[in-house]
Structure 1
Amino acid sequence: MKITNLSPQKKRKDRWNLFLDGEFYCGMDEGAVARLGLKIGQEVDEDFLAKMENEETSAKAWNALLFFLKSRERSEKEVINKLKSKEFSDNVIAQTLEKAKDLNLIDDQRFAEMWIRERAKFNPKGKRALQMELRQKGIADEILKQVLAENIDTETEESLAHQAFEKKSRVWTDMADRKQREKMTRYLAGRGFSWNTIEKLIKTK
């Protein structure tokens, strides 16, 4: 078999159309074309076609990872789950992850630190809730312990609890009312704040 035409697609310049023996064979990622050194007139056999397919699959997985990382940092577990949902093989996923780590695109410690900062800014939660959320994201216990110790001390958690309370302050207008205090206590406990933190906050209101 011979490559008889190889040209960029009209709508997607990062994709190339590949023709073998005068017939369209497949579309390929521009990077895969370059890595394989494809050119018109090149003879290819079944083994080379298999290599082409592997390169194309790897390129698709890599592009899927880059797109997934566009909106925010991702944990390793999130990336694995995303690539699995797109039905990439375990081998392709492992290779893609290794490349991403080498380029410092994925770092679970950095992700955990980002998660805590974003929660503090937009959706304040206590240490217990943050720990549970990060575990669900696949963050290892040793990283969790370090990141939480460095970012959430008693004073910080009290400040976060105050922020969470302020978001509900229009609802809880009378802290002298027992029912409102109970509702506030349940709300803050549900957001992972310790009983000591909650009790201290209630006494100031």
Structure 2
Amino acid sequence: MAVITKIQVQQRNKSRYNIFLNRGKGEEYAFSVAEDVLIKYGLKKGLELNEESLIKIIDEDEKKKTYFLAINYLSYRMRSIEEMRVYLLKKEKELQHINEVIEELTQQKLLDDQEFARAYIRSKQLTLMKGPLKLKQELLQKGVKDVVIDGALEQFQKSDQKESIIKWLDKQKMRSSKLSNQAFIDKLSNQLQTKGFTRDVIKEALKEVDMSNDNEEEWESICFQGEKAKRKFANKYSGWEFNQRIKQALYQKGFSLDLIERYIEETEETV
């Protein structure tokens, strides 16, 4: 049997108390507890505690530590249930305490994967150019269930996706490009797919944005790509074969056959 000889508030944390016991060999520091654990078990000077009571009190306090650690983790942003589980495991908390704390936080609506997924999608819609496929991938990595994600993605309607893509395309078309018009469109389409948008919605959005170069821009682009091709093949081919290699390279870059023929004719004297 142990007797509480002193209870002392901690200097750095006024909500925690140091407990001193006498087990028959004089007073010694035993453990610390949170204020609500102190109150719950009625800890006070002179109280006798058996070994079972000590274990129960310390276990209760460890669970409280896990709870407050979780609350602090939530103070920065919302978390998925799996994110919380992984975090507490990394902090080497007891699995039983982790499960109990997660259950408590879920009941308090502080952990809610449905709301987390909806908030995550809303946030990324406003701050980043990401489509539903990318968002789903990211939420799956955070441990959110497939069915929960699909439900949350219903708010990201096709019309909203198209609007986001159109705004993005309008910005991109103002940028200088040395690519053919078709190659530039293909490049942007690939980027949008990487960002998580489907081919169908990308195709629909492209129909509503004029991405075509004017004749002068397309001519500047083919001249730029043509010179690159010439440098590449200059020491390997000559004559007709050289011109064919140039034509093939420009065709693969997305230029029209008419424009390629014009380029070859107008620059043939320098070949």
TM-score by length of 2: 0.69
Give structure 2 stretches of 5+ with no counterpart.
212-271
Identity %: 27
* Contact 1:31 1:59 (8 Å CA) reproduced: no
Residue 75 of structure 1 and its aligned partner are, at CA, apart by 0.8
Residue 170 of structure 1 and its aligned partner are, at CA, apart by 8.2
Moved more, 103-112 or 31-40: 31-40
* Contact 1:172 1:180 (8 Å CA) reproduced: no
Distance 1:42-1:163 versus aligned 2 partners, 3 A rule: farther
TM-score by length of 1: 0.90
Q: Distance in 1 between the 2:45 and 2:174 partners?
A: 71
Aligned match for 2:159, one of 141, 155, 159: 155
- 1:43-192 alignment, distance < 5 Å: 43-149=48-154, 151-165=155-169, 169=172, 172-174=175-177, 177-192=181-196
Whether 1:197 aligns to 2:198 is no
Q: Number of matched residues?
A: 203
Distance 1:165-1:87 versus aligned 2 partners, 3 A rule: farther
Residue 135 of structure 1 and its aligned partner are, at CA, apart by 1.4
- The one-letter amino acid paired with 2:202 is I
Residues 83-115 of structure 1 show CA distances to partners (whole Å, capped at 9, x for unaligned) of 111112221111101111121111110001000
Q: Distance in 1 between the 2:34 and 2:174 partners?
A: 55
Q: Distance in 2 between the 1:162 and 1:192 partners?
A: 15
* Contact 2:79 2:111 (8 Å CA) reproduced: yes
Moved more, 139-148 or 95-104: 139-148
| Residue aligned with 1:84, SS | helix
Q: Distance in 1 between the 2:169 and 2:28 partners?
A: 67
Residue 119 of structure 1 and its aligned partner are, at CA, apart by 0.3
Aligned match for 2:43, one of 17, 38, 42: 38
* Contact 2:166 2:206 (8 Å CA) reproduced: no
Residue 31 of structure 1 and its aligned partner are, at CA, apart by 2.2
Give structure 1 stretches of 5+ with no counterpart.
none
Larger Rg: 2
Distance 1:12-1:200 versus aligned 2 partners, 3 A rule: same
Aligned to 2:243: none
What is the alpha-carbon root mean square deviation over aligned residues?
A: 2.0
Aligned to 2:218: none
List structure 1 segments (4+ residues) > 4 angstroms apart after TM superposition: 163-166
